[in-house]
Amino acid sequence: MRKNKFLFFNADDLGYSFKTNERILAAFLKGPVGGSSLIVNMGKSTASGAMIAIEEGIPVGLHFNVNEGAPLSGAPSLVGKNGKFFPPPTFLYRMRQGFIDPQDLKEECRAQIEEFISLGFSPFRFDSHNHSHVFPGVFPIIAPILKEYGFKVVRTPRERKGNFFRALPRVGRALEILFLSLWGDSLKRNLPKFGFKTIPHFSGMLEQEPYFSKERILRMLKRLNFGLTEIMVHPGHKGEMEVLIDEEINRAIHSENFRVLKQEILEFL
């Protein structure tokens, strides 16, 4: 396996909206997308996304979400006066200041896992909206819940440090990716202590900066590591689905001796 490049394109945000669901399905049927991550607190669009995944055989993980929409539990410390989750910077600040009640985080994690199961899925892969599970202090709180329900694989988002200049001129976004990668590296080193594993390599954050394009994906393919890489994509975002189903992208994947994993991803994890 070390001498080959195995690619697992994972489409985040299944269940976010009906349009996102449709675009993820197109990227799965016509492009390299091999799996998705389901947001479970978006009501009817969540149910629609789950039905599509089951009908089409899309491998699905849980996309834990504490940054958009409303909680499935009470979780008073996770929401503002409007009853909605705080955006990522505010959530991070509140975590660092001790304003987030760990019990609220545990209860919301449990509620989202229960919803995930009720929609017809078995706990196995775990990641989160805006990568909030790698924010300092979050994972140690929810890890026992994930273990209890049988999750095995946890995403550790990280990019090679030498490539951060490609996120410029958006300095703020470049710094965000840098910190996420540092936290992702730290989580990767510590995952065995929690009893989880991760996909060895990760890519996808930098390809979205400052815009997603065919050229960026082609350059990414050339620099990927040997072994298994999770490539995070968002077909629901403007332009991404069109790039993913582009014939040149699919020709490049098949001409460079890559192996794109879909349902067989479970055999590698």
Tally the domains of the chain: 1
| pLDDT given for residue 267 in this prediction | 78
Assess contact for 166 and 209: CB atoms under 8 A.
yes
| pLDDT given for residue 263 in this prediction | 80
| pLDDT given for residue 161 in this prediction | 60
Q: 101 catalytic, yes or no?
A: no
Choose, from 12, 13, 104, 127, the residue flagged as catalytic. Answer: 12
| pLDDT given for residue 171 in this prediction | 67
- Report pLDDT digits (tens) over 141-163: 999 999 999 999 999 999 876 55
Give the residues of the chain that fall short of pLDDT 70.
Answer: 1-3, 161-171, 209
Nearest CA-CA partner of 5 in 269, 257, 216: 257
| pLDDT given for residue 191 in this prediction | 97
Q: What is the pTM of this model?
A: 0.94
CA distances (Å), 250 to each of 25, 216, 238, 258, in order?
A: 16, 14, 19, 10
* CATH code, domain carrying 232: 3.20.20.370
Count other C-beta atoms under 10 Å from residue 230's C-beta: 26
Structural domain span for residue 27: 5-268
| pLDDT given for residue 163 in this prediction | 56
Assess contact for 263 and 235: CB atoms under 8 A.
no
